[in-house]
A and B are shown apart, each in its own frame.
Chain A
Amino acid sequence: NSKNLSQTWKKMSKILTNCLIASQKPGQVLNIASNLALVRYASTGTPKSAQAQAKVSSEKKPSEKPAESPSFAMNLFRGQMRLDEIFPYPSSLNEEQRDILQSLVDPTAKFFEEKNDSLKNDKLETVPDDIMQGLKDLGAFGLQTPVEHNGLGLNNTQYARLVEIVGSHDLGIGIVLGAHQSIGFKGILLFGNPEQKAKYLPKLATGENVAAFALTEPASGSDAASIKTRAVPSADGKHWTLNGSKIWISNGGFAEVFTVFAKTPVKDEKTGEVKDKVTAFIVERKFGGVKNGPPEKKMGIKCSNTAEVYFEDVKIPAENVLGGIGNGFKVAMNILNAGRFGMAAALSGTMKFSIAKAVEHATNRNQFGKQIIHYGTIQEKLARMAMLQYATESMAYMVSANMDKGSLEFQIEAAISKVFASESAWAVTDEAVQVLGGMGFMRDAGLERVLRDIRIFRIFEGTNDILRLFIALQGMNYAGKHLKELQKKVQSFDLGTILTEGKKRIGRQIGMQNIPSLTEHVPTQLSNSAGLASKAVVDFGQTVESVLVKYGKRVTEEQFVVNRIAQSTIDIFGMFVVLSRAARSINTNSPSGDHEAALANLFCYEASKRLEQNLRDALDGKFVESTKMMSKIAKDLSQNGHTVPAHPLGF
C-alpha cells in the first residue's frame, strides 16, 4: 500500500512539477521588453477598472492573489466552464427600456428605407447634406449620450439594436456615426470629468459638432504605443503644444472635436526619471493649427470621409487632458474595447440583408428545371450564411447585455465578437454574391457595394490579426497567473490543493476526465452539442496548459501556435453562445425554436471538428514543421521581393 502511495505521489509530483514550470514562465511573460506592446494590450483593464486605475498607480504588489474573473472566455484558459455570464442568455432591458427601444426601431428603419440612398452615397463618395442633417435631426448623433446633455441616453443593448438597422442599410453612414460617437467622443463619456462633459457633450449629441478619433499615424497602426505625435507642457502648466500628423481619420475632414493621442513627457514620482507616455487630449479645430488633407479614395464605405489630420503647434488648454496624463494608451484601448460590440451588431444586420438577397434570388431563379434553392450546393451556402449570422447576432447581444449589467471583464468576448462578425460578414456577403451569380457582380443588385463596405471591418479598430493574438495572450496570461498561485500552494504543502489538482491531471493522463455537465442548462434537442461544448472546454484548458509548459515565456513569439489557440477560443465561445440562445428560444416556446436548434447544432458540429484540428496542431510536431516551412517561404520571398520559383517555361 505504501508502495502504491509513493508511486502515486511520484506521478503526482512529476505532473505538478510540470505545472510549476508552466506557472513560472508565464509570470515572466509580463517582463519581456520585446513584445511589450502586445503584452500591454494583454494587460489592459476595462472601462470601470481603467477609470479606477487612471487614478491609482499601476504598480502591482508581488504578493497579490490573482483576481477571479467572471468572464467565460478568461476561465476557458483555465479549463473551467464559468457560466454566470452565458447561461441563461442574458437580457438587460427592463420593461421601460424595451418599450422605448421598440418605439425607436421603426422610425429609424423608415429613415434609412425611404430617405437614405446607399448606392447614391457610394457613387457620390459623400453623405449628401440633407441626409446628414436628417440624421442629426433624427437624433442619431447622440444615441448613448445622457439625456441631460441632449442625447437619447440609450444603453449598449438599445444602441446595438439601432446600429443593427444602420448596418443593414448603409455601412458607410454607420462609420460616419460610429467614428463620431462610438470612438470619436466616447472617451469623454468614459473618462471625461463633469466640466468636460458639460462643455462638449451637448453640441456633440445634436451633431452640431462632429467628433473624430485620432490615434493612427503613418508609422504606427497596430503598434499604437509607438506613436510620434507629441505634446509638450508649457512652463506655467496652463497649456500643451501639440505637433504631429495622423492618418486615416474617419470624419477627419470636417470634425470639430478630436480625441487625440500624443506622447507626453511624464516624470516618474519615485525615480524622478522622465519618460514619454501616451496622453489623450480633447482637441478643438478652433484651437488653431489643425488642418486636414483631402478625402482618401477607398474600396468601400466611400461616403464616409477619411482624411489625414495635421497638428501644428496647436495650443491645448491643460483642462483638456482626458483621463489623466500618461494614461492615453489605456484610454485608447478602453474606447476601442467599449465599441466593439457595436460592430458585431451592425454586421449582424448587414448579414441579414445579404442573406435576404440570396434567398430571394435562390427562390426565384430557375435553372435546369428547378428553383436553385432545391440544389444541395445552394442549400449549403444559405445554411452556412444563416448559421454565421445567428452566431454573430447572438454574440453581439450577449456582450452588450453583459456590458449593461456591469460586467468589468468583457474584453476577450468583445474582441471575439469583432473578429467573428467581420470575418462572417465577409464570407456571408461573398457567398451571397456567388448565389446571385452574374447579377451579384452588378452594382444595381446592391451586393457588391456591401461587400466592398465590409472589407475594412477586418482591418480597423484593431486588426483581426492583432485581436487574435490579444485574445490568446490575455487568456494565457490569466491562466498563467493562476498556475503561479497553484505553484505557491504546492510549495507551501497545501495538501488539499495538491490532491485535487494532482487527481485532475492524473485523470486527464489516463483519459478519465471530469467533464463538467452542461445538460441541465439545455433542452434535449441540444444535448449532443452541449456535450461537445463542455468537452471542448476541458480539451482546450489542457492544451493551453501544455502549450505553456512546452514554450514558457517564448509563447508570445510563437504566433503560429498562438493563432490556433485564438481560433479555438473563438470557436468555443461561439458554441456556448449559440447553445445559450437556442436554449432560451426553445424553453420559451419561440416559433423559431426548431430552426435555431438546427443552426446551433450545425455550428457546434463544425466548430468541434475545427477545434480538434486546431488543438492538435497547437502541440503537434508536424504542425511545427509546417510552420518552419512557412517561415522559410516568407524569408525567401522577402529576399526576392516577389515570388521565387523559376518560371515553368524557364523565362
Chain B
Amino acid sequence: MPLRILVGCKRAIDYAVKVRNHFISETKFNLNNAKIQVKSDFSGVVTEGVKHALNPFDEIAMEEAVRLKEKKLASEVIAVSCGPAQSQDVLRTALALGADKAVHVEVPGKEYETLQPIHVSKILAKLAEQEKVDLIILGKQAIDDDCNQTGQMTAAVLNWPQATFASKLQITDGDKEATCEREIDGGLETIKIKLPAVITADLRLNTPRYATLPNIMKAKKKPLKKISPKDLGVDISPRQEIVRVAEPPKRQGGGKVSSSEELTERIKKLGVV
C-alpha cells in the first residue's frame, strides 16, 4: 500500500534577509528590502514587510515526500501550515513543488506570536490521525526560532517511532519499515524504524527542486483547506510569556599583549581566573 505523507511547512523569514546595517537610520520605506531588526518595544523581531519563505528544512522535507511519490512509494502528499493568512503563500509553494493538497490551520497574528511546538505537535498529530497518514516528514527545525522540538513532540503525542536529523531515508519491507541514516554529534547513525513514523529532515537529506512557473500556476487549482485549531480540538493558549527580545551585545574589540605574564595579569584583572 503506498504511503500517505504529511509534510509540515512553516512560513519563516527568508534565510537571505540581512540584519539591519546600523549606519543607516530608521527607514520608513516598508518595501520588501526590509532587514531584520528587533521591535522598538523589545517584544520580538519585526516581521511586517520582511521577506518570508518556506522554511528551508521544510523544503527538504517536501522534496523527500515528492520523491517518494515519484518512486510510487507514496500515493498522496499533504502539506500543512499553522499560522496567519500569509501562511497560504508557503502552501502554494508546497503545492507547486508537488503536494497534492494543502491544509491551512489558521492562527491569527496575536495568537501566532505565542504558538509553540507544543501546540503545533498536537495539531499535526490530530491531522495525521484524521488524514490516516503513514509518514510525517518535518524540517528538523525552523530557522526563525531554531526550536528543534516539533518533530520529537509530534512523535510522542502519537506514540510513533521517530528518526530525527535524517540524512538518508529508505522505505523497506513493503511499506512497513524505514531505514534512516541520522546525523548525530558523533557522526552518522543508521536506525530502522517501523511505520507509521515521524522523520525530521536534515540539510543533506536531498537538494530541493525549484518550483517551475507552470507548476506554480497549476498549483492554484489544487485544493487548499482552511481550518482552525479549535476544529481539531487543540488548545493553543500560550504556555510562555516573552519577556524580552534583544540583539546580542556588540562585540567588543580585543587587545594585544606582549608577553604571557601580561596576559595572565590581564585575565586576572577581568576576574575570569
* Interfacial chain B residues near A138, Cβ < 8 Å: 210, 212-213
With A591-B29, A592-B29 already in contact, the answer to whether A152 and B214 are too (CB < 8 A) is yes
Contact A107 B220 (CB under 8 A): no
Proximity bits, B13-35, A CB within 8 Å = 1, else 0? 00010000101100011110000
Nearest Cβ in chain B — how far from A590, in angstroms?
9
With A113-B16, A591-B28, A591-B30 already in contact, the answer to whether A108 and B21 are too (CB < 8 A) is no
**Interface positions of A (Cβ within 8 A of B):** 100, 103-104, 106-108, 110-111, 113, 115, 134, 137-140, 143, 152, 363-364, 371, 591-592, 595
Q: Is B92 an interface residue (CB 8 A)?
A: yes
With A and B bound together, what is the CA distance between A134 and B212 in angstroms? 9
With A and B bound together, what is the CA distance between A642 and B217 in angstroms? 59
Main secondary structure of the interface of A (DSSP, over half): helix
With A113-B16, A363-B24 already in contact, the answer to whether A107 and B211 are too (CB < 8 A) is yes
| Complex: chain A residue closest to B219, CB-CB | A103
Nearest Cβ in chain B — how far from A155, in angstroms?
14
| Complex: chain A residue closest to B14, CB-CB | A106
With A100-B217, A363-B23 already in contact, the answer to whether A110 and B30 are too (CB < 8 A) is no
Most chain A CB neighbours (cut-off 10 Å) among B24, B92, B217: B217
Contact A152 B30 (CB under 8 A): no
**Interface positions of B (Cβ within 8 A of A):** 16, 21, 23-24, 28-31, 53, 89, 92-93, 96, 210-214, 216-217, 220
With A and B bound together, what is the CA distance between A115 and B28 in angstroms? 32
| Complex: chain B residue closest to A104, CB-CB | B213
With A and B bound together, what is the CA distance between A501 and B269 in angstroms? 93
* Interfacial chain A residues near B96, Cβ < 8 Å: 103, 107
Nearest Cβ in chain A — how far from B94, in angstroms?
12
With A and B bound together, what is the CA distance between A529 and B216 in angstroms? 44
Nearest Cβ in chain A — how far from B9, in angstroms?
15
Contact B214 A107 (CB under 8 A): no
Contact A139 B214 (CB under 8 A): yes
* Interfacial chain A residues near B93, Cβ < 8 Å: 107
Contact B16 A104 (CB under 8 A): no
* Interfacial chain A residues near B24, Cβ < 8 Å: 363
* Interfacial chain B residues near A591, Cβ < 8 Å: 28-31
Nearest Cβ in chain B — how far from A11, in angstroms?
56
With A and B bound together, what is the CA distance between A139 and B211 in angstroms? 10
Nearest Cβ in chain A — how far from B2, in angstroms?
26
Contact A592 B31 (CB under 8 A): yes
With A and B bound together, what is the CA distance between A107 and B213 in angstroms? 8
Contact B216 A104 (CB under 8 A): yes
| Complex: chain A residue closest to B21, CB-CB | A363
* Interfacial chain B residues near A104, Cβ < 8 Å: 213, 216-217
| Complex: chain B residue closest to A363, CB-CB | B23
Contact B29 A595 (CB under 8 A): yes
With A and B bound together, what is the CA distance between A111 and B210 in angstroms? 7
With A and B bound together, what is the CA distance between A107 and B53 in angstroms? 10
| Complex: chain A residue closest to B209, CB-CB | A137
Known: A103-B217, A104-B216. 19 other contacts (CB 8 A): A100-B217, A100-B220, A103-B216, A104-B213, A104-B217, A107-B211, A107-B212, A108-B213, A111-B210, A115-B210, A134-B210, A138-B212, A138-B213, A139-B212, A139-B213, A143-B213, A152-B214, A371-B23, A591-B31
With A and B bound together, what is the CA distance between A592 and B93 in angstroms? 30
* Interfacial chain B residues near A134, Cβ < 8 Å: 210
| Complex: chain B residue closest to A139, CB-CB | B213
With A and B bound together, what is the CA distance between A291 and B153 in angstroms? 65
Nearest Cβ in chain B — how far from A592, in angstroms?
6
